[in-house]
Amino acid sequence: MIEGLIVAALVIWSAVVVFKKVFPKAAFSVFMSLSNIFEKQGWKAAAKWLKPAAVSGCGGGCGCSAAEEPAQKKTEVQAVKWK
C-alpha cells in the first residue's frame, strides 16, 4: 500500500516536470490559472506556491532560465614556453 503511494507520487511529479519542460507556455498558463483559482478560494499559500515565475530573458522556453546567472567567461589556457 505504501509502496503504491510512493510510486504514484513519483510518477505524478515526473509527469509535471516533463510537462513543464516539453510545453512551457501551456504549463505557464495552467499553473497561472490554478494559482488564480486557489487565490479566489482563499488558499494563499497554495496559490503562491503554484504561481509560475515571471518570464525574463529569452522567454521562449529554450532552456535559459531567469534564475540562471550569466555564463562565466572561461579563461584561455596559456601554453608553457620553455627557455
Dihedral angle of Cα 24, 30, 35, 36, to the nearest 10 degrees = 130
pLDDT tens for each residue of 31-72? 999 999 999 999 888 888 888 887 665 555 555 555 556 667
Q: Is the pLDDT of residue 6 over 60?
A: yes
The whole-number pLDDT of residue 71 equals 63
Is residue 50 within 8 Å of residue 39, measured between CB atoms?
no
Question: Does pTM surpass 0.85?
Answer: no
pLDDT tens for each residue of 12-36? 999 999 999 999 999 999 999 999 9
